[in-house]
Amino acid sequence: MKQIEINNEFEQKLKRITEHFGIDTQLIKLNEEMGELLNEGYRNVYKSDAKEALENETADVLNVLVQVMLYFDLDWHRIGDVMSSKVERWM
């Protein structure tokens, strides 16, 4: 799987967006974007052209999610470790 790289310039842009709109607004936006992704998934589950729509909605979710992660200074490595442990529990 290809990694998504977030360079310093992109990170600074995301931080400026959060500063401009405020974290409360971005948390609401995250909720909206996650709902759109969920709806897109249900709507397109059996369509051959679903991939592009799902990629677009996933990008929206990730952009806002990374803003939230940066705002709260979440530990990316710890999140990766938790993700791995949760996958192991599902196996």
Mean pLDDT of 38-57: 80
Helix (H) / strand (E) element for 32: namely: helix 23-44
pLDDT of residue 57: 92
Per the CB < 8 A criterion, the answer to whether 27 and 72 are in contact is no
Report the mean per-residue pLDDT for the chain: 91
Gap between the Cα atoms of 51 and 70, Å rounded: 28
Cα distances (Å, whole numbers) of residue 8 to 38, 55, 77, 78: 30, 23, 17, 20
pTM recorded for the entire structure: 0.86
pLDDT of residue 81: 94
Mean pLDDT of 54-58: 91
Mean pLDDT of 8-26: 97
pLDDT of residue 4: 80
Gap between the Cα atoms of 83 and 70, Å rounded: 18
